[in-house]
Amino acid sequence: MIKAVAFSNVGNIRSNHEDNFLLGRDNFISPRVQITMKNNICTQSASYEGEDGIFAVCDGMGGHSAGEVASLNAVRWLNDCYEQLLCAQEDELGEYIARLNEEIVDYSARYANCHNMGATLSALVITKNKICSINAGDSRIYRFDGKSVTQWSTDHTEGQRLFDLGLLDEDELKAFPSRKMLYKYLGRKGSLCADVAHAVYNRGDIFLLCSDGLTDALCNEEIADVITQCDNVSQMGQTLLDKALAKGDVCADNVTLLLIEIL
């Protein structure tokens, strides 16, 4: 049995909401609901229970036109392919995400107001036997195994790439002007090879999917403290959101997070 919750908020600075999520089948933020989320007026929350499921966070990319359209199209496409994705093997999941990228690129080319739109993707496909993670961009996946919180995903940013190569240290990374520039995301022209991996999960494991609006406001240690100290995923999610919003102007971007517990 899986129990999951989602929270999404515009944040403290932006007036529009470009994030979206998929929390099991048919559970995402509709355009009608997005209108009510402007100017930090409303937090969208949702919950899910089931034997398996697909969970995703998509962050419409700032600086690209129609980011909210890209993130909505992405979660709708995942929802439309729900059964196929649940049954897909690891290599097949990569092929599906490559097709999703083609859909985003094609939509962007067909509509002038959507040219160059894009979105990140972090997702988990959970079945009775295994869990598959999918990542393209800088929306993250974390795992709590009852002892420690570890970051499962890799940020596909220029800053992280140079850091991994040893060309930047932590202080230089923070000051690097292009540290947030993405080299892998949905809407990227050409072929997209998303990070796809599978693992066996254990009862009691908790997974966090989030947009960079959360991780820009809270460091990994702060996130880990909340997850380890709260009693349930609903409390974890609300506390993480509250702590991010309490950061004031540091919480400048939209904040979206999903927490999934294996019961």
Per the listing, tokens 């409303």 go with 42
CA-based nearest residue to 93, from 195, 200, 201? 195
Question: What's the confidence (pLDDT) of residue 196?
Answer: 96
- For 17, phi then psi, to 5°, come to -115, 115
As separate numbers, helices (DSSP H) first and strands (DSSP E) second, the chain gives 9, 11
In whole numbers, what is the pLDDT of the chain averaged over residues?
A: 92
Mean pLDDT of 111-135: 93
Question: What's the confidence (pLDDT) of residue 70?
Answer: 95
Question: What's the confidence (pLDDT) of residue 225?
Answer: 96
CB 48 within 8 A of CB 77: no
Output 177 or 167, whichever has higher pLDDT.
167
Question: What's the confidence (pLDDT) of residue 104?
Answer: 95
Mean pLDDT of 217-234: 95
Confidence band of 183 (pLDDT split at 50, 70, 90): very high
CA-based nearest residue to 25, from 58, 8, 6, 50? 50
Classify residue 76 as exposed, middle or buried by CB count within 10 Å of its CB (0-12, 13-18, 19+). Answer: middle
Checking if the pLDDT of 182 tops 90, the result is yes
In our burial notation (b when 16+ CB lie closer than 10 A, e otherwise), range 78-91 reads bbeebeebeebeee
**What percent of the chain has a predicted confidence (pLDDT) above 70?**
98
CA-based nearest residue to 214, from 6, 3, 2? 6
The DSSP secondary structure of 74-101, one letter per residue, reads HHHHHHHTHHHHHH--HHHHHHHHHHHH
Distance CA(154)–CA(173), nearest Å, equals 15
CB 126 within 8 A of CB 134: no
Distance CA(227)–CA(221), nearest Å, equals 10
Count of alpha carbons within 13 angstroms of residue 196, beta-carbon side: 17
Question: What's the confidence (pLDDT) of residue 178?
Answer: 81
**What percent of the chain has a predicted confidence (pLDDT) above 90?**
74
Question: What's the confidence (pLDDT) of residue 63?
Answer: 56
Class of domain 2-155+183-262: alpha beta
> In this structure, what token pair is assigned to residue 247?
């950061």
CB 236 within 8 A of CB 226: yes
Question: What's the confidence (pLDDT) of residue 55?
Answer: 98
Mean pLDDT of 133-142: 97
Whole-prediction pTM value?
A: 0.94
Per the listing, tokens 């990070």 go with 195
